[in-house]
Structure 1
Amino acid sequence: MSIYIGNLSYEVTQDALTAVFAEYGTVKRVQLPTDRETGRPRGFGFVEMGSDAEETAAIEALDGAEWMGRDLKVNKAKPREDRGGSSGGRGGYGGSRNRY
């Protein structure tokens, strides 16, 4: 499981985020998604800690904390939802809608 961090400054770096979370335990991985077109950070990220206890400590300490001029939103990351993609879920014929 990993931690979701929202409302991040667009100036944040992986090293800076690692340093903040390292105060609460072992940081296994940091991910800062970027915009495909601009390459700019998207304002959120994910951190994977060494244990559930470390994740809980980081969440409790950092949720709502002010960092780099912003109030952080920190919680357990939710599993990524399947958005349908190429599974044939858009338009076409043979759907189950409007059957009499």
Structure 2
Amino acid sequence: LAHPADDLGTARLAALAGVTPRHLTRLFAEHLGQAPGRYVRQARTEAAAHLLATTDLPVAAVAARCGFGTAESLRTAFTGRYGIAPSRFRATQRRGPTGG
């Protein structure tokens, strides 16, 4: 989670954990209730939300820092998770509780 831009594919994570990709997938399902790829995508999307809310980095830079290949792939994942585009999310974060 500390390095969302790294290779976090199932095969790579399994190798780091010293298990087979199939066993890692079973462990994720048992303990986290989801596949490794879904977990990684969720973690990357959350990292992107944090950067969008706390920095002025361009969306493309946020995408790269969070392991998304393109701003478009970030937009797709972000919209799927939060129901709003990254740029719109950022705008809502900047308004604050008073609306301005």
Q: Which has the higher helix share?
A: 2
Q: Which has the higher strand share?
A: 1
Answer with 1 or 2: which has the greater Rg: 1
Higher relative contact order (CA 8 A, sep 6+): 1
Same fold, TM-score > 0.5, yes or no: no
TM bracket, shorter-chain basis: under 0.3
TM-score by length of 1: 0.26
